[in-house]
Structure 1
C-alpha cells in the first residue's frame, strides 16, 4: 500500500506508516510533538478529513490520524461470523494497538461519525487508555436505533440500506459508486465547497475499491447487530474520561436528539455545544472546531 504523493501536500509535516496490529494493517499518519492525540474519521471519509486542523493540533500534540479498518488504505478483512470483525470492539482494539506500538499507553481522542462510535467503545473497553474524549456529531448508537422514527429513517436512510444482507447494497452501489459517495457527502455538508477537491479525489479513490464498499457495509451491519449486543451488555456503564460532544447546528443529530442529554446517560463528565455547520465541522468550520478542541484539551 503505497501512499499517494498528494497526502504529504494535503497534511504537511506528517509522516505515514502502516502499523500491523495482530495481522490487520492500519494506515497511520503521525505529526507533531507533545501529549498523544488520536484522530478517528467517519464514513465515507478517511484520515484526510482532518487535514484542515491536524497541522495546528500538531503544534501542541503528537497527532496520530488513522484509517479505520475497512476504510482508506487500511486492511479490509472478511466480516466474520455475525460481522464480528467490524464490531466497534474489534475496530477499537486496532486503534489501541496502533497507539501502543507508537509508545502511547494513554492518550486523548477526537472522533467523528463512525470513528466516534469506535471511540465510544474504546473508552469503555480500554478505560485506562483514554485521557479525554471528543465525539463529533453522533448520539449513542443504541439510543439512535431504539428511538428511530420516520424522520430519522428518512434523513439517515443508509443506516437501514447498508445493513441489508450481502450483496444487495454492495451490488447497487457498484452501479455508480461516485454518485452514491458524492450524494452522501453533499447531503450532510451544509456549508458549500467545504470539502477540498484533493481530499474528495482521495475519497473517490478509496470508495472505488469494492473491498472498501463491502467493509463499510460490514461496519454498518455490525452496528445494527453485534454492537447493540455489546452496548446492551454495558448499558449501565459510564465513560469515565471527560467527554466533549460537538455537533453540527444545521445537521440531523442536533435536530433530532438532545445530544448532551444522550451522552449524560452514557458518561460521567459531559460538556459540549453545537457548531454552526452540518455533519462535518472539521471540513466545514475548522476554526470553530479547533477553538473548541484546544479549550477542552
Structure 2
C-alpha cells in the first residue's frame, strides 16, 4: 500500500497531555501511531472522536493514570499518526483495520488484554475491536455514538439534517475532499461550535490544535467516514446476521438525543451488548472535555464490573 508522510504542522499547534510520555509505534503495513502513555496498573486505551485528537482525553486520562496505565493514541489518519492513502477496496480506514491497529498498539506496549473506551469515531473503532478481538478487550466504554447500522437506519427525513456530514463524506472520492479543503476551518470548526454546550470546555489553543490537525488530514478523515457507509456497514451486517454480540461488560454514555429523534438508544445498544449499562448525560457531545468528572467516574464504574 502506498503511504503519505503525515502532514506536520508547527509543534506549537500540538499541545500535549502534561505528564504523559509520547511515542510513535508501528502497528501495521508501516503505519505508525502517535500515542501518549502514563500511569501504572491495568491498561486502559482511550480513543478520540471527530474532529479531534487524543488531546480530548487530557482531563480524564490524567485522572485515570492514578490507578491505570493510560494509553491515548491518535487514530490512523488523525493528529500526528500516519495517514495512509485509501486502498482501492476502501478498507484502509475500515473500523476493522483501525481496531487491529489498536490491538497491535497495545501489544507493542506489552498488553495482551486491556480495557477500551472511545468517543464518537473512536467508539466505532472500539466496538469493532470488541467484536473482532474479544479475548483482548476486557471492558468497553462507548461515548455518544450509535452502532453504524442503527445510525444509517435512524437518520432519515428531516432528522438526517443534523448528520449532513455523514452523507457528504460518504460520497465517492473527489467531491467531499475538494469541498472540505476549500474551507477546512469553517467546516471542522462548525462541529466544535454546534456540538458543544460548554464552549469554554475547548480552550483556544486546543481548538487551534484540532483545526490544524483536521486541516492536514482531510483525505484520511473523509476516508474514515466513507468507510462507515460501505465496509463498516457490511462488517456490521455480517455480525448481525451471525448473531455476534459484545461479550465483555459495556458502558454507554450518551446525550438524550434518542428521545428527541424518537428511538431507544439503550435498546439499540443492548442488541449488540447483552452486559450493558446505559446512561444519559446533560452535557454536550464533547463530554470528556465538558464533563470530565462524570466520564471518569463512569469509566471507573465500568472497570469495576
Same fold by TM-score, threshold 0.5 exceeded?
Answer: yes
Is structure 2 residue 234 aligned with structure 1 residue 234? no
Task: Report if the CA contact (8 A) 1:253-1:259 is conserved.
Answer: yes
Task: Report if the CA contact (8 A) 1:138-1:253 is conserved.
Answer: no
1:83 to 77, 84, 90: 90
1:53 corresponding residue in structure 2: 60
1:223 corresponding residue in structure 2: 228
Question: Runs ≥4 in structure 1, deviation > 4 angstroms?
Answer: none
Give distance in 2, aligned partners of 1:196 and 1:62: 26
Is structure 2 residue 176 aligned with structure 1 residue 169? yes
Task: Report if the CA contact (8 A) 1:248-1:254 is conserved.
Answer: no
| TM-score (norm: length of structure 2) | 0.92
Give distance in 2, aligned partners of 1:69 and 1:254: 33
- Alignment partner of 1:84: what SS? coil
1:110 to 117, 126, 137: 117
1:44 to 51, 54, 57: 51
Q: CA deviation at 1:229?
A: 0.9
- Alignment partner of 1:63: what SS? strand
Task: Report if the CA contact (8 A) 1:69-1:91 is conserved.
Answer: yes
Aligned residues: 292
2:274 corresponding residue in structure 1: 268
Consecutive unaligned residues in structure 1, runs of 5 or more: none
Task: Report if the CA contact (8 A) 1:82-1:225 is conserved.
Answer: no
Give distance in 1, aligned partners of 2:130 and 2:78: 21
Consecutive unaligned residues in structure 2, runs of 5 or more: 1-5
Give distance in 1, aligned partners of 2:221 and 2:232: 15
Distance change >3 Å, CA 69–CA 80, structure 1 → 2 = same
Give distance in 2, aligned partners of 1:117 and 1:16: 24
Q: CA deviation at 1:201?
A: 1.4
- Residue correspondence of structure 1 range 1-297 to structure 2 within 5 A: 4=11, 10-22=16-28, 23-209=30-216, 212-235=217-240, 236-249=243-256, 252=257, 255-256=260-261, 257-297=263-303
Give distance in 1, aligned partners of 2:185 and 2:13: 20
Give distance in 1, aligned partners of 2:283 and 2:125: 23
The alignment yields a C-alpha RMSD, in angstroms, of 1.6
Task: Report if the CA contact (8 A) 1:275-1:289 is conserved.
Answer: no
Task: Report if the CA contact (8 A) 1:82-1:222 is conserved.
Answer: no
Task: Report if the CA contact (8 A) 1:248-1:280 is conserved.
Answer: no
